[in-house]
Structure 1
């Protein structure tokens, strides 16, 4: 039997990532019993305090056991903790590290990645998190390779999930590894979870990365965003701010975590997404409006960033698409 320890953190966290995870493991046990098999999981909520309150006291969670009393864990699950609440939960770190050294696996859900990365167990490994927290994560944990487009990572006994409710896909993935494909498929059907989803890029909203102190680079970012439909070259933008291209590229990458070319591509694709969501112009017109003249290059870049073709994106997210009934 696998001993599952679901952390109940201090401070604000996403309660659904605790409750939803608990529910899926319990449902897996119930299905195994109904199909003549033994339950696979012993699930415990593990906390530092006897109760945890959320949203001004509207909700409360009562752990099954305190951290000091945990005897065994085969899998530790870190729910989605607000990044600035990581410091409140540092008491979990020695326990997580010791359990991992003793053979336990560790999974982070959404922004639970910040606590997992704080253990050092992700150094030199791959990890995912919520797309909106990607820039902050990269700055805080440069030794971790962030896969911001991924729903699931699995490497050397550590797991992570993408943002928000994509934790459901990671939990199904783990259950499939432990119990088999049939159990995961049944739970996916029961809870109406789209199984095998592996990319969160289509959900990401690019707002630029201006949380830095390099003022000329901020101005260059604003220039790119304001001239999205123009034929901009990186050398031209660097020259506007009297910076050599080589130095401009170095500073830009340091400030934004993107090269200037990557940033310009993301700005253009974000503008294209908004046009596809709200307008009725055809894809070629959208392409020209955001500075592309080569249809193949536009479609390739768009799909690389969003995971969808422009037509697929419009069909899924256009406000002009009729509701399904």
Structure 2
């Protein structure tokens, strides 16, 4: 390919914030996809480079290069002080734990506030939304983030209305707050920004060039429903280990209760305190995760899978699966069975 055309001076600037915990793949993936707007379709169809319509810039606290958490080298285009009024300020992703402190992001938070005061569009992919919440910019607003971080966001920032099932949330005054969910939903965010800043036709061209299928079903089908086993209550831990082997039995909650030696009231109270779930909800979680594995890897009839994981009533299983996962068992199989086969 010939040398890439430089964006014209009229190209719309999108600042991609590279914090200390930046995820290089999302950062540079967004950089590449946004930078191809107006450029690549013309090249592929007519053999000549089109004029880039967007100008992505990687900005960091002091503008100096640094190592991402995975060891990749990130080379910013500018320091925060040199990029005060982009059209969009976007946080691509942060490689942080759900409850991680973001106290070390004072400079980035001040920059986001400065951008917000100027009417700049604020966007975040995946865990980048945690920084928007830390900055107080999501107070009283709808929001989404990676499915594994939604509970932490709701707990740490109770004034934020967290929508774990949504891949894309557009909210705030003038619809100037945009967030995408987990994983590769940064692609949805990038295409949405292209559609908003350039036009829907250009966003569709980029989707066709890159064979992108927008995540219209949300994040829930991708989420692992099982909660990691807690270690603070040894008695409940023993029950979790037991039920992992016996979730398909007729009365798994009664079995756990008998193993614990506790009264029903004490058992349920301690189980909820330790896991954040009722015993029956926990059993449903284990059963549905196993059902997802059967749906992905085999061709057993759905009624048979329901029985295999412990449900005597297939219609109840279908309703529960649809409510918890966001897809019917048949829809889930069509999507993830083919994906698994392609990856084998």
- SS at the partner of 2:262? coil
Aligned to 1:192: 211
1:242 aligns with 2:262: yes
- SS at the partner of 2:39? helix
- The 1:142/1:15 distance shift into structure 2, 3 A limit, reads same
Note the alpha carbon deviations across 1:92-113, whole angstroms, 9 max, x for none: 0122123223322221111222
How far, CA to CA, are the matches of 2:231 and 2:331 in structure 1?
Answer: 35
- SS at the partner of 2:37? helix
Structure 2 counterpart of 1:174, from 193, 197, 201: 193
- Check conservation: 2:143, 2:162, Cα contact below 8 A: yes
- The 1:253/1:316 distance shift into structure 2, 3 A limit, reads same
1:44 aligns with 2:60: no
How far, CA to CA, are the matches of 1:178 and 1:265 in structure 2?
Answer: 44
How far, CA to CA, are the matches of 1:56 and 1:62 in structure 2?
Answer: 15
Aligned to 1:228: 247
Cα offset, 1:212, TM superposition: 6.6
1:66 aligns with 2:79: yes
How far, CA to CA, are the matches of 1:100 and 1:110 in structure 2?
Answer: 20
Aligned to 1:110: 126
Aligned to 2:18: 8
- The 1:26/1:312 distance shift into structure 2, 3 A limit, reads same
1:90 aligns with 2:106: yes
TM normalised by structure 1 equals 0.82
Alignment of 1:137-148 (within 5 A): 137-148=153-164
- Check conservation: 1:26, 1:43, Cα contact below 8 A: yes
Aligned to 1:100: 116
**More displaced stretch, 276-285 vs 67-76:** 276-285
Aligned-residue Cα RMSD (Å) equals 3.5
Aligned to 2:39: 30
Give unpaired runs (5+ residues) of structure 2. Answer: 1-10
Aligned to 1:297: 316
- The 1:323/1:178 distance shift into structure 2, 3 A limit, reads closer
- Check conservation: 1:216, 1:241, Cα contact below 8 A: no
- SS at the partner of 1:165? helix
How far, CA to CA, are the matches of 1:315 and 1:24 in structure 2?
Answer: 28
How far, CA to CA, are the matches of 1:31 and 1:320 in structure 2?
Answer: 28
How far, CA to CA, are the matches of 1:56 and 1:254 in structure 2?
Answer: 35
Aligned to 2:223: 204
1:152 aligns with 2:168: yes
Give unpaired runs (5+ residues) of structure 1. Answer: none
Aligned to 1:264: 283
How far, CA to CA, are the matches of 1:65 and 1:321 in structure 2?
Answer: 41
**More displaced stretch, 125-134 vs 211-220:** 211-220
